[in-house]
Amino acid sequence: AAADAKAAGTLDKAAQVKAGAALFAGTCSTCHQPDGKGIEGVFPPLAGSDVAMGDKSRVIGIVVNGLSGPVVVNGKEYNSVMPPMSQLNDDEVATILTFVRNSLGNHGDVVSAEEVAAVRASTPRPPGAAH
């Protein structure tokens, strides 16, 4: 439905958040948990996360390129591996991040497919990552 709305030029924030909830459930919730609170010391929270709500380009880059090594979220260090989400296209990454930035206790802005495409084009893929 979100893809159809985008094609028709009628995709709004609420529809993007709703579509993002479904993608989040199938892609992100295993590690970050359905409530977005993560797993203490292993997978950082997205709910109330200073990183998720911070610089959009950085957050997009984490999803597109993955993250390995220490990261501090809400003052706590996590040291795990998030693989690059190469299976997701720009619209899907934008939709998931719009959901994250506008639910789970977060209140933010929309992430566009164009913003994702710009980050994808300007950062090198890690070894083994697709597109």
In this prediction the pTM is 0.90
- The pLDDT-based confidence of 39 (bands split at 50, 70, 90) is very high
Check pLDDT > 60 for residue 131: no
- The pLDDT-based confidence of 86 (bands split at 50, 70, 90) is confident
- What one-character-per-residue DSSP string does 21-51 give? HHHHHHHTHHHH-TTS--BTTTB---TT-TT
Check pLDDT > 60 for residue 78: yes
